[in-house]
């Protein structure tokens, strides 16, 4: 059974949908949040092997941590302030103490704020790392194969992505920036050319494209390749959608009410997009196995029509 949470921006709630294992979901269970919840992630923040939730509230800039009970129900939120205009959050173990930490983008201060986890669902501020102007999205993974978690951050006002290599003590090295398309809004990592190195895919909202930056395996990246999407892409997920062993892209396009699927050739390039229509103003999507077969499925969320659509993969 798969549980998928989402934020309800207009009603100040989080909705949790428990999966039935056949591609359908139970009615949402809602949890009241602070004003305008905008980002939510799942991870095990208190080391009990049960998934928990962390959500950002966009107006009051609080972080809400809800510990899971293991039955799809979550506890009352533990709340702390970022004291900044927070736009996105990701998790990882940034100091190798086997406790999950948080990296939060400060869109007004041009930085990433690190909060180290105590292993009980609470956090303490470690410090900040300077990135570009108006950082919108952050991911955490190991880009240079040193077993230390690194960060990649999109900078919307600079048309760049910042890469910060980790020192394994909760701090990060000075950023190295790479050019993207116009107004990058999100980034994801995978191996797009099957060379064993981690690559980046950056969604460019105002140039209707995705920047592919192939990794060299040492924390540096090559110049971008730019496949096209439809209008106003906002978010991206990656996975092998046609079971050929190559990583593919799925991009949600807000203004054109669509999803672009770009199948990978396995060399860092992609086929021309295939278009799937969605509800009104889609802004987020998830890939997972929703009906217990061997094919990755897709769920997208529509802000304009307050709905979600489930696309079951019929790849054979």
Residue pair 285/308 in contact (Cβ under 8 Å)? The answer is no
pLDDT digits (tens, 9 = 90+) for 212-268: 999 999 999 999 999 999 999 999 999 999 999 999 999 999 999 999 999 999 999
For residue 151, tell me if it sits in a domain: yes
For residue 275, tell me if it sits in a domain: no
pLDDT digits (tens, 9 = 90+) for 3-18: 556 566 667 888 888 8
Structure tokens belonging to residue 158: 């600079």
From start to end of 33-182, where are the E strands?
Answer: 37-43, 52-57, 62-66, 78-81, 86-92, 101-106, 111-117, 123-130, 135-141, 150-155, 160-164, 176-179
pLDDT digits (tens, 9 = 90+) for 86-96: 889 999 999 99
pLDDT of residue 190: 99
By the 10 Å C-beta count (0-12 exposed, 13-18 middle, 19+ buried), 65 is classed as: buried
For residue 274, tell me if it sits in a domain: no
| Nearest partner of 45 among 12, 80, 15, judged by Cα | 80
By the 10 Å C-beta count (0-12 exposed, 13-18 middle, 19+ buried), 242 is classed as: middle
By the 10 Å C-beta count (0-12 exposed, 13-18 middle, 19+ buried), 47 is classed as: middle
Distance CA 121, CA 107 (A): 25
Within 13 A of 232's CA, how many CA atoms are on the CB side?
10
For residue 13, tell me if it sits in a domain: yes
For residue 307, tell me if it sits in a domain: no
For residue 220, tell me if it sits in a domain: yes
Distance CA 309, CA 58 (A): 25
CA angle 271, 274, 230 (to 5 degrees): 100
pLDDT of residue 6: 56
List the CATH number of the domain containing 165. 2.120.10.30
Mean pLDDT of 120-147: 97
244: left (phi over 0), alpha (psi -120 to 50) or beta: alpha
Q: How many CB atoms lie within 10 A of CB 98?
A: 9
For residue 179, tell me if it sits in a domain: yes
Mean pLDDT of 37-46: 93
Q: Give the Å distances, CA to CA, from 231 to 27, 136, 188.
A: 31, 19, 19
Query: What is the domain count for the chain?
Result: 1
Secondary-structure breakdown of the chain: helix, strand, coil percentages, each rounded to the nearest 5? 0, 50, 50
Domain that holds residue 111: 3-231
pLDDT of residue 1: 44
Distance CA 248, CA 188 (A): 12
For residue 270, tell me if it sits in a domain: no
Question: pTM of the prediction?
Answer: 0.94
């Amino acid at each position: 059974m798969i549980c998928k949470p989402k934020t309800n921006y207009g009603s100040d709630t989080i909705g949790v949908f428990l999966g039935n294992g056949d591609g359908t979901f139970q009615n949402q269970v809602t949890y009241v949040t602070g004003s305008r919840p905008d980002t939510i992630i799942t991870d095990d923040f208190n080391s009990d092997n049960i998934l928990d939730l962390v959500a950002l509230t966009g107006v009051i800039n609080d972080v809400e941590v809800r510990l899971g009970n293991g039955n799809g129900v979550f506890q009352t939120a533990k709340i702390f302030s970022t004291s900044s205009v927070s736009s996105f959050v990701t998790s990882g173990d940034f100091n190798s103490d086997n406790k999950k930490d948080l990296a939060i983008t400060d869109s007004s201060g041009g930085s990433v704020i690190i909060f180290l986890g105590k292993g009980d669902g609470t956090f303490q501020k470690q410090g900040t790392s300077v990135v570009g102007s108006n950082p919108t999205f952050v991911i955490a993974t190991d880009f240079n194969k040193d077993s230390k978690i690194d960060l990649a951050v999109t900078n919307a006002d600079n048309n760049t992505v910042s890469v910060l290599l980790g020192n394994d003590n909760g701090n990060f090295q000075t950023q190295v920036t790479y050019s993207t398309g116009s107004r990058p809004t999100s980034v994801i990592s995978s191996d797009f050319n099957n060379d064993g190195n981690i690559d980046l895919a950056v969604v460019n909202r105002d140039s209707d494209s995705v920047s592919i930056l192939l990794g060299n395996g040492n924390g540096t990246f090559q110049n971008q390749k730019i496949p096209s999407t439809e209008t106003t892409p906002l978010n991206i997920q990656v996975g092998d959608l046609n079971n050929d062993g190559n990583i593919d892209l799925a991009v949600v396009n807000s203004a054109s009410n669509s999803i672009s699927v770009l199948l990978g050739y396995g060399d860092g390039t992609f086929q021309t997009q295939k278009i799937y229509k969605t509800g009104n103003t889609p802004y987020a999507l998830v890939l997972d196995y929703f009906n217990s077969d061997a094919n990755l499925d897709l769920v997208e969320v529509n802000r304009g029509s307050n709905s979600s659509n489930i696309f079951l993969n019929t790849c054979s």
